[in-house]
Structures are given as C-alpha cells and as structure tokens.
A and B are shown apart, each in its own frame.
Chain A
C-alpha cells in the first residue's frame, strides 16, 4: 500500500528552485533514506511534506488524500510527524511534559474541565502520564522525567525529540539527520533503536542523514538529491555504484561529463 506519494512537488523561494519536481512513492513499512550534499534541498522536502512551507506546485498524497494545502498541525494529526535537524524540544519544560504535549490533540477534556479539574481531567492526565512514562522507559529517558529537557545531554535530547514524535502515534516518521552530532557508539545505538521502534510500532520511516554508514546500514531504499533535483533512487548497493551520485559527492572529471 502506498502511504505517501509526492507528485511533481516543487518549492521555490523567489528564483531559487529549492526542490524541483520531486516524485516518489513510499510504501507502508518501508525505511527510506534521503541523501545529498549540503544545500541539496533535503530538509526543504521535509518542510513541504509537513506543511511548514506550502508546495509551489505539485501534489502530496497521504493515504490517498491530498494534504498539500493543509496547515502543519493538521498534517501531524493525519499521522505524519517529523524531527528537526537543529533540535527543537521544549527546553524549559520537563522531559515528561515534552512527551505529554504530543498527546494534546488526542485529549478530549475541554478548557472548562481543565479549569474545574473534574474527573475527566484527572483521568486523562493520569493516563497521559502513564503512557508518556512507558515511552520514556523505552527510550531509557525515564530517569530524567522531572528534569528540564534543556538540561539533558545532546544525544539524549535527540532521543527525546524522536520519542516526542512517536508520542503523536504517527504512521510515518520523518527524521531529519537523527545521528547528527552523535559519536559512533551513540550512532550504532540509535540505529538499533530506530529498527526496534519501527518493528514495535509498525512504522514507516523516511530519514535524511549524512552519516553514510548509518544510511547504508539501515535503509532499504535510498533517494539522492542534488541542487533540488532527485538524481537517483535505489537500494544501497545500487546507489553506491551510481556514477551520478559519486559525481554529486566527489565531483566529476571532465571526460565523465562528456560520457554521461
């Protein structure tokens, strides 16, 4: 089943073509990687999918529904959630509150229930805390649950952001450079964690990463972008041999240009 489909998606900033005619289909349960040199437009693809920028043209289908014009929060409620390249947790709030905020759009009690603190309020709040703690335990963050999120070490903040994304109970998770700034040991741990949560929650994952070992080791399919254009798509083995990809990363000798 096709979960997410991008049809000729474009995003221009004035004359700058950040993303030009991006086409792809992501099946349910896939783990897809998106790579490319700096400034290729990878994050812009994520920004357009999650509604932070509207697409200049083209369509985005999620479970058969066009979500191109929806605001960001509606897209999250449909089941697409993302993390950010530069961590965007809620630093002054506690780790537990960070997770609980993700449950917000699934809570039913009204503002008046909240003000009167009636049974609905207590029931739902308790349930949310419980579920949040379960999730934190899975990510090994439960020992910090009352600490301000901003006080966590960098690697843990990344994990918290992923945990928070999962708390929205998504169908597809977009991870923007999840391993950025992590040491090799942490990276391997993160790879295992991502595989584990994918199995456990039956997720589809679409990720951007610069860490080649990470991408090649985890992704079933990889897309490559350069200057806003998708230049290749295939299995890790295919991508490694693709002359265009090698060209984009390492540069092309003059004779190669003639041949291709």
Chain B
C-alpha cells in the first residue's frame, strides 16, 4: 500500500515533467522512423547530433551548478568530461569486451561504467576543490583551466607512463595503461549510447541537479553566490558546500563524458581541450547563469545551429553566423536568454504558505 502511495505521489509531483519529456521523445521516435506514421526525417546522422545536444545539456547544467548557482568560476569542465570518458571507455573496451556481450549485461556494464566514470570525475573534483576552493574568481578560473589541461596531458602521455611502469616492474599494470594509447586516441569503443538511454540519463541528471538546487543544500550554494560572508555568518560551511557543488558537477560531467565516448566511439585527448570547456561556458552564458531552462535551450540550440547551417547549405557562413549571434545576444541581453528565470514545469511545487 505504502509503495503504491509513494509511486502515486511521485507521478503527481512529476506528471508535467513526464508528460512533456515523453511527448518530445515520442516526436523523435516518430521522425526517426521507429514508428512508421511519418516520413523519416531524422537520419542516423541527425540522431547523433541530437545525442550530442543531450550530452551538452548534461554538461551545461552541471557547469551551471558551479558557475551559475554557487557563483564560482570554473573553466576546466572538459577535464572532468575527459576523466569520465576514459574511465567508462576503459571499462567497456579494454577491461571487458562489451561489444561481444548480450544485451542486458552490456547495458548493465555500460551504466556501471558511466557511474564509475562519474565517481572518478567527482573524486578529481573533490581533490582539486579541497585546496583551491578558498580561491576566488580569476584565481579559481586559472586553477581549473590548468587542471583541465593537466588531465589532457596525462592521458596524452599514457605511453610514457606505461613505459615508466614497465621499467619499475609493474608489467601488467603497464600493459593496460598502454592500451589507452593516449596520443593515438582510443578507438573501437562499442556503440552503447543508444538514443533512449542518452535521453533518459539526461532527464535523470537534470532532475537530480534541479532537486539538489531546490533543497536546503542547494540553497546553501545559492547563498554562497549571493554573498559568501553573509552565508558564512548564517552558519553555512561555505568551503564544504563549494566542494559538494564542485564534486556533484564533476560527477555529471563524468557521466556526460562517458556517454560522449560511446556516441563518438573514438576518443582522443584533444577532444577534451580548453576549447571544449569554452564551448560549455558559451552555452551557459547564452542560456543564462542560474537558469536550468536556459542551459537546456542554449545547449540544444547552439549544438544544432552549426549543423543546421551546414544542412541548409550555409556551410561557408557557419562560423560567421554563430559568433554574430552570440555578439548580438550579449549586446541585447547580457544576462542570457533566460536570465535566472525557469520554465514553470522545472520548478518544483512549494506548498502555499500564508
């Protein structure tokens, strides 16, 4: 009885959310030809772009957790993504051969590898957060930027690390490290990121991050953004909450990286360069700091836009229109498309008090 009541409550709370997301999913399924009532407009190529858009949503919303909601300035987000991507690819490609597995074990392994990838990224976030989150503004930005580049360089020099391990006698260890083949890129990653899975994980991630923000712990983060001295005198351990926000954000960046690796099926350290971090910052600022809705719309829109321009034969103007749009946006609406407002279905209901 209790469980039925709980499920009922859950549906009551999320019915708008479920309805809207299910409807969007249905539209995709109709147009990619799974349900044969409409012409197949979305080919595999388009579906792949949509999956990148979804992954970018996870990345942007998670970056929003640090930059938009906690008010810290991190520009090393691709570093966390890199950790997640390599960790999950390591599990599915090197440690186990997921390509030869049956459907369900494969799915379980993939989800497991995504979670491990997320946890590794979160751990890295915790490690760099511990000493650096006392820094503010530009200084934190420099540290996070360096962190992203360090991660990339470590992966890139995996051959040297393997050689070193071989020299000191850890042969077995060195063999697995060598398989990462840093500078040549890790290929033959099985195609595990199915559209429905990416879609589901994106929705779950967004819900989790949103629920975090609307809890007392999320409010603690918001108060740090608003005024960290006042937050501290309200009894909030600001360093702790900065680290929590950082780790949670890194976790989802890691999951996003895992999904990314299994969509692209080939990862190279240069995929996770500084430019990638900047991309997410652009999505974040275009959408509006402190707005989940803005992050979702901007990440989707700005991922699809360049590809859309390619499709309508605007190929040569692609890289003119995209920055021009950003310049106009920043001139006309510096706080981003959504400022810090939200779609109402993204705001959890608060009981009316009077």
Contacts and interface: CB of A to CB of B under 8 A. Distances in A.
State whether these chains interact.
yes
Given A90-B226, A133-B354, A101 B234 contact: yes
Contacts of A103: 216
A100 interface: yes
Interface residues of A, number: 43
Contacts of A189: none
Interface in B329-354: 340, 348, 350-351, 353-354
B232 A72 contact: yes
A168 interface: yes
B340 A101 contact: no
B129 interface: no
Contact of A111 (B217, B222, B238): B217
A196 interface: no
Given A90-B226, A104-B216, A111-B215, 12 more contacts: A73-B236, A76-B232, A88-B229, A92-B222, A93-B219, A96-B353, A101-B219, A104-B236, A111-B217, A114-B211, A125-B350, A168-B235
Interface size class of B (residues with CB under 8 A): 20 to 34
A240 interface: no
B236 A109 contact: no
Interface in B199-241: 208, 211-212, 214-220, 222-223, 226-227, 229-238
Interface of A: 50, 52, 71-73, 76-77, 81-82, 84, 88-93, 96-97, 100-105, 107, 109, 111, 113-117, 121, 124-126, 128-130, 133, 145, 164, 168
A217 to B, nearest CB: 27
Interface of B: 13, 208, 211-212, 214-220, 222-223, 226-227, 229-238, 244, 290, 340, 348, 350-351, 353-354
Contacts of A82: 233
Contacts of A130: 353
B282 to A, nearest CB: 23
Contacts of A90: 222-223, 226-227, 230-231
B216 A109 contact: yes
B230 A105 contact: no
Interface centre among A52, A111, A128 (most CB of B within 10 A): A111
A111 B244 CA distance: 10
Contacts of A145: 353
Which 8 residue pairs are nearest across A and B when measured between Cβ atoms?
A: A114-B215, A90-B226, A88-B230, A105-B235, A76-B235, A72-B232, A129-B353, A115-B211
A133 B353 contact: yes
Contacts of B234: 73, 76, 81, 101-102, 104-105, 164, 168
Contact of A92 (B13, B212, B229, B340): B340
Contact of B231 (A97, A101, A126): A101
Nearest to B340: A92
Contact of B223 (A71, A77, A101, A124): A101
A20 to B, nearest CB: 24
